[in-house]
Amino acid sequence: MLTLSRWKIIVVTLSLIFGLVFTLPNLLPQKTLDALPGWVPHQKLNLGLDLQGGSYLLYEVDTDALRAERLTNMVEDVRTTLRNERIEFGELGEAGGIVRVRITDPGKVDQAVSLLRRTIGGPLVGVVGGRDTTVANKGDGRLELSFVPEAAKADAAQAVEQSIETIRRRIDSLGTKEPTITRQGSNRIVIQAAGESDPARLQAVVGQTAKLTFQMVDETVTQEDMIAGRIPPGVVVIPGTQPGAPPIPVAKRALVTGEDLVTANQEFDGQSGQAVVAFRFGGSGARKFGDATTRNVGKRFAIVLDGKYISDPRINQPLPGGSGIITGNFTPESAAELALLLRSGALPAKLNLEEQRTVGAELGADAVKAGGISTLVAFITIVVFMLLSYGLLFGGISVIALVINGMMIVAAMSITQATLTLPGIAGLILTLAVAVDANVLIYERMRDEARAGRSPIMAADAGFSRAMSTIIDANVTTLVAAGIMFAFGAGPVRGFAWTLSIGVFTSVFTAVLVSQLLIGWWFRAARPKKLPI
């Protein structure tokens, strides 16, 4: 075991170089580091939000709302489709996730079924030719439409993807320091903004769905009808964004939606000097908008944002160009924000903020300082204790192994860009403490063997080989604990687990190989008669 084979020397030397080279960027000042050529590693330890300060926001896509909206749309789609084909129907409505309709003309039931099968819903993601909606004929002209079970999952996944894209666009135009946006699980989005200790602006642009629609105001519904709750089908009463604005009845079906917008900008109205949002539709949106305004001159329509109307102007003349302005008591800032949201598109569903963590930069700096001091104290304690227990030589060897170990951990953490969190520092300290355990096991074993009357070289050799299985067993258990923390832990706990796992590998390596090499060299040089431990 104590033979100094060439491969051992090579492996130890290589890992020593590796440790040095990749630890160095953490020790050099930023200026020196920037001046170095590109092939020198530049990666530093990746400090977690709790150490450098920043915000963590976890949003969940409101899948229930998404579902409800899709069902409402389905009802309207069924209504328009059947009307356009002049198929008479009644009892159209939605309950418990199922849209029901009754075709009154028995001769047209089959035609209705095939028509609805073709037109309602959309293609199912991942299934060629599959559709996400089923149409069932329940007899007596009663039809039931519902989404297939896979549709909900596909919808949520798609909503998350779209949301991430939209959020990225919105944040990009904010121009703040780039936050990371990641998907978590099936319906969650995590936004991490380093150095941002007040995420209010971030929340303002992320938390709004910004779904813009133009809906006709139903002027046949009177104030009395609304109070009495006599609302015709296909009409809905919505509140205004301004406090004190009266609720108005509008058609459920939108004329045009914000999806067709090509630009939106904050401008000032030439006449009143008020801040407004100028918008322009493109392509089919412009045509739809032009047609609708031509057909409905003299009538009122509502500009609706997230279920509340901003204004309900009367159409004075057709607007074939597809552009217009939105007025509505804006300040230049709020108009600019709305324009930004409209430009970057609506979120497919409402996002609920489920978790928010914020750490001020000051607290982060304090944590780094505290972590640094504790690590130093722990290191000195271990060094003193090992020297006292095993003497300058063997204790010193374990200290050298410990220093190399620490260096390799820092190097590995820098390369993998694993996040170092405050509990991670604790993990590091514990790793250093337990790392000497491998040395302790080996040395204790050597003492035992020497006491049993073996020659120094034999005792040292047996110390390494016999302690090995114990060291492996002991470290596998730590690794198992760390693995579980990584699988089930969140944020800071994962950082801790990661540090612990890296530490297990490096400490076994250094305690076994590095100290073996050092002791081997010493034996060759000193040829001792007695084991000095």
Partner 1 sequence: MAWPLIKLLPQKTNFHFVKYARVMALISAALVVASMVGVFKPGLNMGIDFKGGSVMEVSTAPRAVDLAKVRTTLQAQGLGDVQVQEFGSADRALVRFQTPAGGDAGATLANVKSALKQSLGDPVQFINPTAVGPKVSGELFRSGIIALALAIGLMFLYIWFRFEPQFGLGAVAGLLHDLILTFGFIVLFKIEFSLNTVAALLTVIGYSMNDTVVVFDRLRENLRKYKKMPLGEVIDLSINETLSRTIITGVTAVMALAGLAVFGGEALLGFSVVMIFGIVVGTYSSIYVGAPIILLWGVKRGDEEATPIKLGAASRP
Residues 407-436 close enough to bind partner 1 by CB under 8 A? 422-423, 425-427, 429-430, 432-434, 436
| Bridge partners of residue 266, in order along the sequence | 277
Per CB under 8 A, 391 contacts partner 1: yes
Judged by CB under 8 A, the residue of 66, 115, 497, 518 near partner 1 is 497
Cβ atoms within 10 Å, residue 12:
18
Judged by CB under 8 A, the residue of 123, 126, 130, 360 near partner 1 is 360
Q: How far is the CB of 505 from partner 1 (least distance, A)?
A: 15
Judged by CB under 8 A, the residue of 322, 348, 456, 492 near partner 1 is 492
Stretch that binds partner 1, among 26-34, 71-79, 91-99, 490-498 (CB under 8 A): 490-498
Judged by CB under 8 A, the residue of 336, 493, 521, 523 near partner 1 is 493
Q: How far is the CB of 516 from partner 1 (least distance, A)?
A: 18
Nearest CB to partner 1, comparing residues 307 and 532 = 532
Give residue for tokens 């069924």.
78
Cα 264 to Cα 422: distance, rounded to the nearest angstrom: 44
Q: How far is the CB of 495 from partner 1 (least distance, A)?
A: 9
Window 37-56: contact mask with partner 1 (x via CB under 8 A): -------------x------
Q: How far is the CB of 442 from partner 1 (least distance, A)?
A: 10
Q: How far is the CB of 466 from partner 1 (least distance, A)?
A: 8
Q: How far is the CB of 431 from partner 1 (least distance, A)?
A: 10
Could you write out the DSSP letters of every residue in 361-412? HHHHHHHHHHHHHHHHHHHHHHHHHHHHHHIIIIIHHHHHHHHHHHHHHHHH
Nearest CB to partner 1, comparing residues 48 and 285 = 48
Q: How far is the CB of 69 from partner 1 (least distance, A)?
A: 18
In angstroms and rounded to an integer, the radius of gyration of the C-alpha atoms of the chain is 35
Per CB under 8 A, 353 contacts partner 1: yes
Q: How far is the CB of 136 from partner 1 (least distance, A)?
A: 34
Nearest CB to partner 1, comparing residues 43 and 389 = 389
Per CB under 8 A, 184 contacts partner 1: no
Q: In this structure, are residues 405 and 510 in contact, taking their beta carbons and an 8 Å threshold?
A: yes
Q: Which of residues 434-473 bind partner 1 (CB under 8 A)?
A: 434, 436-437, 440-441, 444, 447-448, 451, 469-470, 473
Q: How far is the CB of 487 from partner 1 (least distance, A)?
A: 8
Phi-psi region of 55 (alpha: psi -120 to 50; beta: other; left: phi over 0): beta
Cα 330 to Cα 361: distance, rounded to the nearest angstrom: 34
Q: How far is the CB of 426 from partner 1 (least distance, A)?
A: 6
Amino acid type, 325: I
Nearest CB to partner 1, comparing residues 408 and 441 = 441
Per CB under 8 A, 359 contacts partner 1: yes
Number of residues that bind partner 1 (CB under 8 A): 81
Per CB under 8 A, 34 contacts partner 1: no
Residue 297, phi then psi, degrees to nearest 5 = -60, 135
Cα 309 to Cα 316: distance, rounded to the nearest angstrom: 19
H or E element in which residue 117 lies:
helix 109-119
Closest CA to 53 of 201, 206, 192: 192
Q: Please, which residues have CB within 8 angstroms of residue 183's CB and are 6 or more apart in sequence?
A: 160, 161, 164, 189, 190
Sheet of strand 89-95: strand arrangement: 89-95, 98-103, 142-147, 133-137
CA angle 218, 221, 222 (to 5 degrees): 130
Q: Which of residues 194-213 bind partner 1 (CB under 8 A)?
A: 197-198, 200, 203, 207
Nearest CB to partner 1, comparing residues 126 and 532 = 532
Identify the three-state secondary structure at position 274: coil
Tokens of 154: 């596909």
Nearest CB to partner 1, comparing residues 278 and 433 = 433
Q: In this structure, are residues 349 and 63 in contact, taking their beta carbons and an 8 Å threshold?
A: yes
Cα 474 to Cα 296: distance, rounded to the nearest angstrom: 80
Judged by CB under 8 A, the residue of 356, 416, 417, 465 near partner 1 is 356
Q: Please, which residues have CB within 8 angstroms of residue 234's CB and are 6 or more apart in sequence?
A: 76, 79, 251, 252, 253
Judged by CB under 8 A, the residue of 52, 72, 389, 455 near partner 1 is 389
Window 498-527: contact mask with partner 1 (x via CB under 8 A): --x---------------------------
The Cα-based distances of 370 to 229, 249, 352, 366, 422 in angstroms read: 64, 61, 35, 6, 9
Q: How far is the CB of 391 from partner 1 (least distance, A)?
A: 5
Q: In this structure, are residues 304 and 310 in contact, taking their beta carbons and an 8 Å threshold?
A: yes
Nearest CB to partner 1, comparing residues 98 and 481 = 481
Per CB under 8 A, 226 contacts partner 1: no
Nearest CB to partner 1, comparing residues 136 and 472 = 472
Q: How far is the CB of 436 from partner 1 (least distance, A)?
A: 6
Nearest CB to partner 1, comparing residues 227 and 490 = 490
Per CB under 8 A, 365 contacts partner 1: no
Q: How far is the CB of 63 from partner 1 (least distance, A)?
A: 12
Window 369-388: contact mask with partner 1 (x via CB under 8 A): -xx-xx--xxx-xx--xx-x
Q: Please, which residues have CB within 8 angstroms of residue 527's CB and are 6 or more apart in sequence?
A: none
Q: How far is the CB of 437 from partner 1 (least distance, A)?
A: 4
The Cα-based distances of 491 to 190, 353, 452 in angstroms read: 11, 17, 50
H or E element in which residue 336 lies:
helix 332-344
